[in-house]
Structure 1
C-alpha cells in the first residue's frame, strides 16, 4: 500500500541536481508552452495581436504556476517514494490535458479541457501537501494552509470559469482575480513556517527550464533554414536571417547565465521576488521564439514579429535586473540591463526596426553585462 507521507529533504544537501523524473515533468510542461506559443503566432497572424498576447499570458500563467509549485515542493519534499512518483505522473497527465485544450482559449471555445488539466495538476499538489503535513510535523500548519488554499482556488476556477468563454467581458477580470488568489496562497502559507527548499536545486531547476524554453528559439532557427531553397543552391538571405536569430538566442542565454548564483539569499521575500519574476523570464523567452516563428510563417508580418521580439527582449532584460542585478551589482554596472531594456524598447516602438539592429544591441548589451560581474560574485 502506498504511504502518503513525505519527509523533508536536507536544504544543505551537497551537489543536488535535477532528477530524471523532474526532467520528465519539464518535458510535459514544455509541450504545453509550445502550444501556447503557437497560439500566440496564430493570433497575431489573424490580426488579433493584443487579444493573442492576453490569451498567451493567461495560458502561460497556468502552465508556469503548476510547474513552479511542483518544482519548489519537490525541492523540499522529493523523497523518491512511490507516492511522490505517482502523484508527479498524475501532475504530468494534467499538464498534457492542459496542452491539449490550449487552442480553446485562442479560438474562444469552452475551456473544459484546460480547466480539467489545470485542476488535475493542482489537486495532485493538494495530495502532495497533505503528505508533507503528515511527514513533517514542524511544517504541518504550512502544509495544511497550502492544501486548503489550493483547494479553495480550484473551487473558484470551476465555479467562475466553467461557463464563461474567453470572449466574454468578464473573462479577463475573473482570471486576474484567480491569478491574485493563486499567487497569494504561498504568501499566506509560508508566513507560518517557511518550507526548507534547497537553494542550489531551485537555481538549477529554473536554469534548466530556461534552456528548455529557449528551445522555442532554436526550433524557429531550424524552420528559417528549412524555408530556404532546397540544396544544392543556398539562399544567402535565409542563412543571414538564421545567423541573426542564433546570435539573439545565444545572447538570451548569455544574459541569463551569468557568473555566480542567481539567488543570493534563502530569505522568503527575496525568494518570492525571484521565483515570481521567472513568470516574465520564461514567458518573454517563449514569446521571443514565437515572434521568430511568425517572421518565417508569415513574411508579411515580419515587421510585427520583429517588434514583438524587441519588446519581449526589453521586458526580459528589465526583469533580470529586477530579480537579480539590482541585488548584486553596484555603481554604473548596476544600470547596464535597464539601459539595454530601454534601447530595446525604443527599437520595438520603431517601425520597422531592422533585425540586425536588434541583434547588435542585444549582443553588445550582453557582453557588457557579462563583464560587469567578476567570477565568484553572488549574482
Structure 2
C-alpha cells in the first residue's frame, strides 16, 4: 500500500484507471496469493478428472472437469483483467479480492461432488456467485471514478449480475437430468463469455496493461504445469516403495513433457502485441484450453501411476492417451492464440504437426515415451525454425539498409 496517502484513502480510494503504458508493471503479492488459491481449485478439478478416468468413467468425468475448470478460470480471468486496469491497492480492494478467493475455496470444496453418480452443483455455484458478486462491487467502484469508461463498467456490473441470477436459478431447479444440466451450463457459459465482448465494445478498451496481462497468464500457466510435476513426483515416490522401471519412465516423461510445454509457451515471440479487442478476446478466451489441457496432462500422469501400480484396471494405452490428448490440445490451442499470428513459413505448422504426432504416438507402440519425445522435438523444431526465421529477417534488413 502506498505510503503517505491520507488514512481514509488507504481504506477507500477512488478506483481510477491505471496507466496502460506504466513502466515496470508486475504482478502484486495479492495477485500471487490469488493465483495460489486458484491452483487449489484447479488441483481439485484435476483430481476429479484423474479418478474418473482411472475408474473407467472418462466420458462422465471430462464434461464435469470442463464445467468446474470453466468456473475457476473464468472468475480468475475476469479479476485478472480488471485488476490490470484498476488495482489501486486500497483496503477495500484487498478485502473484495479476498472475498473472491474465499469463493474459489468454496468451489474447490464442492468439486469432488461433481464427479459422483449424482452430481450436486450447490457448493460450486455458491462459491462462483460469491466471487462474481464481489466483481460486481469492483466494477461499480470503477464506474464511479472512471468517467470515460463508465458505460463499460456499468455494463460489466449489470451483465455479471444478470448472469448470476441465471446461475442461482440453475441452483434452485436441481436436481436435473444430465442432459438438462449440461444444456443449462452451456447457456450460462455463453452468457458469461458475452459480457466482456459486449461491455468492452461500448467504449474504448478498459486500460488493462498488456505486459502485465501477459505476465499474469504466464504465471498461472507455470502453476498449472506444476500439477504434472506433482504427478511425476508421485511416480518417483511409488518407485522408492516398490521399484518398477515403468514408473521411472513415467517420471522422466513427465519432466520431458512439462519442460517442453513450458518451452513452447515461453518463447521470445510476443503473445499479445496489440490491444485490439478481437485479438485480446481470442487470446484471453483461448487460454481456457491451454490451462485446462495443462492441468489435464497432470491428471493423465496420475492415471498412469494408478495403472502401473495396479490401482486402476483400464488398459495402459488409455493412460497414454490421457496424456497424449491434452498435450495435443495444448499445442493446438497455443497455435490458435499465438503461432498463427507470430509465425511464418514452416514454423507456423510446427504446433499442429506435433499435436497430430502426439495423438499417433501411442498407436505406434512408442507409448508414453513417444508422446514425451514428440513434445521435446516440437520444442526443438519450433525454436530452431523461429531462430532461422529471425536470422533471415535480420540479414534481409541489413542488406536492405546497405542498399
Instruction: Tell me which interval the TM-score lies in, with the shorter structure as reference length.
Output: over 0.9
What does 1:286-297 align with in structure 2 at a 5 Å threshold? 286-297=295-306
Match of 1:191 among 182, 188, 201: 201
Residue pair 2:49, 2:61 contacting (<8 A) in 1 also: yes
Match of 1:32 among 34, 41, 51: 41
> Could you tell me which residue of structure 2 aligns to residue 214 of structure 1?
225
C-alpha deviation, 1:28, in angstroms: 0.7
> Could you tell me which residue of structure 2 aligns to residue 333 of structure 1?
347
> Could you tell me which residue of structure 2 aligns to residue 321 of structure 1?
335
SS in 1 for 2:178: coil
Deviations 1:123-155 (A, max 9, x none): 000000000001111100000000000000000
> Could you tell me which residue of structure 1 aligns to residue 377 of structure 2?
364
Match of 1:130 among 131, 140, 143: 140
Say if 1:81 and 1:70 are closer, same or farther in 2 by CA, change over 3 A.
same
Say if 1:177 and 1:23 are closer, same or farther in 2 by CA, change over 3 A.
same
Match of 1:256 among 262, 265, 270: 265
Q: Distance in 2 between matches of 1:123 and 1:371?
A: 47
Q: Distance in 2 between matches of 1:160 and 1:241?
A: 41
Match of 1:342 among 336, 356, 361: 356
Match of 1:204 among 215, 219, 222: 215
Q: Which moved more, 1:155-164 or 1:274-283?
A: 155-164
Match of 2:317 among 300, 303, 309: 303
**TM-score, with structure 2 as normaliser:** 0.89
Q: Distance in 2 between matches of 1:84 and 1:189?
A: 22
Say if 1:160 and 1:235 are closer, same or farther in 2 by CA, change over 3 A.
closer
Say if 1:76 and 1:183 are closer, same or farther in 2 by CA, change over 3 A.
same
Q: Which moved more, 1:323-332 or 1:55-64?
A: 323-332
> In the alignment, is residue 223 of structure 1 matched against residue 234 of structure 2?
yes
Q: Distance in 2 between matches of 1:115 and 1:134?
A: 29
Deviations 1:6-63 (A, max 9, x none): 1111100111111000000001110000000000011112221111001000000000
Q: Distance in 2 between matches of 1:345 and 1:243?
A: 19
Q: Which moved more, 1:237-246 or 1:117-126?
A: 237-246
Q: Distance in 2 between matches of 1:161 and 1:30?
A: 25
SS in 1 for 2:179: coil
Q: Distance in 1 between matches of 2:12 and 2:346?
A: 55
> Could you tell me which residue of structure 1 aligns to residue 397 of structure 2?
none
C-alpha deviation, 1:229, in angstroms: 3.7
Residue pair 2:293, 2:330 contacting (<8 A) in 1 also: yes
Structure whose alpha-carbon radius of gyration is higher: 2
Q: Distance in 1 between matches of 2:163 and 2:14?
A: 24
Say if 1:31 and 1:3 are closer, same or farther in 2 by CA, change over 3 A.
same
Q: Which moved more, 1:115-124 or 1:161-170?
A: 161-170
SS in 2 for 1:6: coil
> Could you tell me which residue of structure 1 aligns to residue 249 of structure 2?
240
> In the alignment, is residue 283 of structure 1 matched against residue 292 of structure 2?
yes
> Could you tell me which residue of structure 2 aligns to residue 17 of structure 1?
26
> Could you tell me which residue of structure 2 aligns to residue 179 of structure 1?
189
Q: Which moved more, 1:261-270 or 1:198-207?
A: 261-270
Q: Which moved more, 1:29-38 or 1:103-112?
A: 103-112
Q: Distance in 1 between matches of 2:345 and 2:120?
A: 52
SS in 2 for 1:311: helix
Say if 1:375 and 1:199 are closer, same or farther in 2 by CA, change over 3 A.
farther
Structure 2 unaligned regions, length at least 5: 1-7, 391-403
> In the alignment, is residue 152 of structure 1 matched against residue 165 of structure 2?
no
Count of aligned residue pairs for this structure pair? 374
**TM-score, with structure 1 as normaliser:** 0.94
Residue pair 1:325, 1:334 contacting (<8 A) in 2 also: yes
C-alpha deviation, 1:82, in angstroms: 1.1
Q: Distance in 2 between matches of 1:66 and 1:208?
A: 16
C-alpha deviation, 1:371, in angstroms: 1.9
Q: Distance in 2 between matches of 1:334 and 1:345?
A: 19
**Cα root mean square deviation, aligned:** 1.8
Q: Distance in 2 between matches of 1:228 and 1:91?
A: 40
Q: Distance in 2 between matches of 1:113 and 1:316?
A: 29
